[in-house]
Structure 1
Amino acid sequence: MDPVSIPVIDLRTASPDDLVNGLINASCVFLVGHGVPRAVREAVLETGDHFFGLPRDEKAKVEWPGDGPWYGWQPVSESSPTAELLERYELRLKPSDSHLPPKVWADGFPLWPQSPPDFRNAWTALYVAMHGLAARVTGMIAESLALPDADVPAWTTQQHSNLVVNYYHAQTQAPEAGRTRARAHTDIGGITLLWADDAPGGLEAAIGAQRAWTPVRFRDDAWLLQAGDLLHLWSGGRIPANPHRVVNPPPSANAKARRSIVFFHHPNADTWVAPANAEHGMQALDHIMARQRGEYARVEAR
């Protein structure tokens, strides 16, 4: 059987069925014609590079406080000897404030870095753009699958979503056994929208019926859309969640850091997620926190 390639969906012309068929067949698709300006994305990368280059004490001023869903700076590589080899910064704006002007919406976030000074404006602009794109995509999915109209606002205008930059450390020497950039997993939420640079040691996705690990080479103009656990459930299992991992670079590669921008979309945290007419489901926040606790338990057990 020929391997399945990742479909490319042009949102300027694609129908909702085109999008959903791509996700059913491959569990992830590239989106082009999405309307997210390149300059907005680049501003986040530039301010992120500055932030991650700050002394640890400076970054620690905006570190995740340790309870509730993740946000702020997270030194993931420091969690244990086998923790994943990255650090990240995570922005989460309140769903209840999404109707406000962007500047006012951003006022509700408590962990903005002070340096660089344009960090807040850059990240707010991309968050707003990705929030709109996620709402558009989940609306198309709901239309194609004829999901209940009453469900849709929780996945679109009222979504609970995070904008993250992952900064994968340059590997100047081979990492210890068992340490990777990101272990194989599916994402917690509805959809994930991802852009990554082309540094060695990158994303692999398991796609197609054979779940073959496939290196993902990013087009500069494309965002990768990956289906998550909660979309799999909401779709009644019709859309599979996408397994993926981030591999270490080969020893022969020039040592350099790698960056990715990720928009983790979830339905509103209070939403009960279940297929239409199903008796069983789960609350979105319960699932988010169970997976988050599981990550800690797994890391601590190693």
Structure 2
Amino acid sequence: MLDSPAAQVPALSLQDEAADPAAFAAALGGSFERFGFAVVADHGIPDELIERAWAETKALFDLPDDEKRSYYTPAGGGQRGYTPFKTEIAKGASAVDLKEFWHVGRDLPAGHKFSDVMPPNIWPTRPEGFRPVFEELFAAFDKAGDRLLSAIARHLGLDPHWFDPAVKDGNSILRLLHYPPIPADAEGVRAGAHEDINLITLLLGAEEAGLELLGSDGQWLAIKPPAGAMVVNVGDMLQRLTNHVLPSTTHRVVNPPPERRGHSRYSMPFFLHPAPDFLIETLPQTISAANPNRYPAPITAHDYLHERLVEIGLVKK
């Protein structure tokens, strides 16, 4: 399943955003409009922090199964802590995904207005260095995400700071993903065809083969970023906000060749969400006679997220 042609997604540098914000915004927006994806190097997250995060991630998933499951809270919809292997299913899929994962969210001060919908983090006892590493990495992803959103705002003709109040105290989630070794005849794929729920997703770990996007002609295309680069894709909330001017592209993680299925695969997506009370309302400049408003009824980010979590099996009706 790894013979898909490569998607010709251009590699951009976030360093160019500081030197020429308008040019970077045009390049990023153009890549999103064509593919729903972008590849971004020089993203500002230190290599040594990423290496520490990979080490902590592997140590976490190497823990005994019963220890990991002690951090699983089914009633929480998988928002924090551990979610076991074969729990999540892509919308409309028949087979569950072949993965386990851990979620780190935003820490809120006591009594915060969003505390009822953004639960506190669950921190494991082991590995001992886990919490400080992922608090630091969450903040670094947040910073990179803000710069990318600023470029998206420019591309859409908005003020560069338009997204700032939308994502302040946003319900973003850092997911640590482990695709365990699987038998050669495993049913299903590591992550079924799906779209992301959020505004944008920032992904580390896509150098390992397997990530594919669905092209406009219906052909699956492999994403092959340069070493150290970040893959960024549009989520459904941004697609809805922009009336599909920026499309949320279907993607999947396919199984490796049989000889590689005895190896684990790890990745770290950061799902950048707005605050729960942010109203997803179609931007007027994205509505035209050729592109009429697909979403005349606005919806809050929290209500939209809840709908989608039910669809993928993390929240029960």
In the superposition, the TM-score normalised over structure 2's length comes to 0.81
Distance 1:95 1:138 in 2: 22
Alignment check: 8 A CA contact 2:77 2:314 kept: no
2:63 is matched with which residue: 54, 60, 65?
Answer: 54
**Aligned partners of 1:30 and 1:223 also within 8 Å:** yes
Which residues of 2 match residues 18-33 of structure 1 at below 5 A?
18-33=27-42
Counterpart of 2:182, as a letter, is Q
Consecutive unaligned residues of structure 1, counting only runs of 5 or more, are 98-107
**Match of 1:165, SS?**
strand
Which one of 259, 281, 301 corresponds to residue 298 of structure 2?
281
Aligned-partner Cα distance in 2 for 1:73–1:39: 25
The residue type paired with residue 104 of structure 2 is: L
1: CA distance, partners of 2:33 / 2:85: 32
Partner letter of residue 302 of structure 2? Answer: L
Which deviates the most, 250-259 or 113-122? 250-259
* Residue 223 in structure 1 maps to residue 230 in structure 2: yes
CA–CA distance in 2 between the matches of 1:65 and 1:110?
14
Structure 2: runs of 5+ lacking an equivalent: 18-23, 111-118, 285-292
2 CA distance for matches of 1:134 and 1:197? Answer: 17
Q: In the superposition, relative to structure 1, how do residues 197 and 272 fare at CA in structure 2: closer, same or farther (>3 Å)?
A: closer
Q: Is the 8 A contact 1:7 1:26 kept in 2?
A: no
The partner residue of 2:84 within 70, 75, 88 is 75
Identity score, percent: 25
Q: Deviations over 1:93-119 (max 9, x none)?
A: 14679xxxxxxxxxx834100111100
> Which string of whole-angstrom CA distances, capped at 9 and with x for unpartnered residues, describes residues 176-211 of structure 1?
3xx2211101100100011225545x111123x324
SS in 2 for 1:84: coil
**What are the superposed Cα offsets for residues 128-171 of structure 1, whole Å, 9 maximum, x if unpaired?**
00011111111211122023789522444332200111100112
Match for residue 111 of structure 1 among 111, 116, 122? 122
- The structural deviation recorded for 1:219 is 2.1
Q: CA deviation at 1:258?
A: 0.4
Structure-2 separation of matches of 1:290 and 1:115: 33
Deviation of the 1:216 alpha carbon: 1.6
Within the candidate set 222, 241, 249, 1:234 is matched to 241
* Residues 1:294 and 2:311 are matched in the alignment: yes
Amino acid of the residue matched to residue 10 of structure 2? P
**Amino acid across the alignment from 1:19:** L
Aligned 8 A contact 1:135 1:157 in 2: no
Equivalent in 148, 152, 161 of residue 141 of structure 1: 152
Does the C-alpha gap of structure 1 residues 254 and 276 become closer, same or farther in structure 2, counting only changes over 3 Å? closer
Q: Distance in 1 between matches of 2:85 and 2:181?
A: 15
Distance (whole Å) between structure 2 residues aligned to residue 224 and residue 172 of structure 1: 28
Matched, 1:203 2:211: yes
Pair 1:35-2:44 in alignment: yes
Contact kept in structure 1, 2:206 and 2:267, CA below 8 Å = yes
Matched with 2:102 is 89
Work out the CA distance in 1 between the residues paired with 2:33 and 2:88: 36
Q: In the aligned structure 2, how far is the partner of 1:297 from the partner of 1:70?
A: 9
Matches within 5 A, 1:168-187: 168-176=179-187, 179-187=188-196
Tell me, in whole angstroms, the C-alpha distance in 2 between the residues paired with 1:170 and 1:225: 26
Give the whole-Å Cα distance in 2 for the aligned partners of 1:63 and 1:148. Answer: 41
1-side partners of 2:72 and 2:270: how far apart? 19
Q: If the length of structure 1 is used for normalisation, what is the TM-score?
A: 0.85
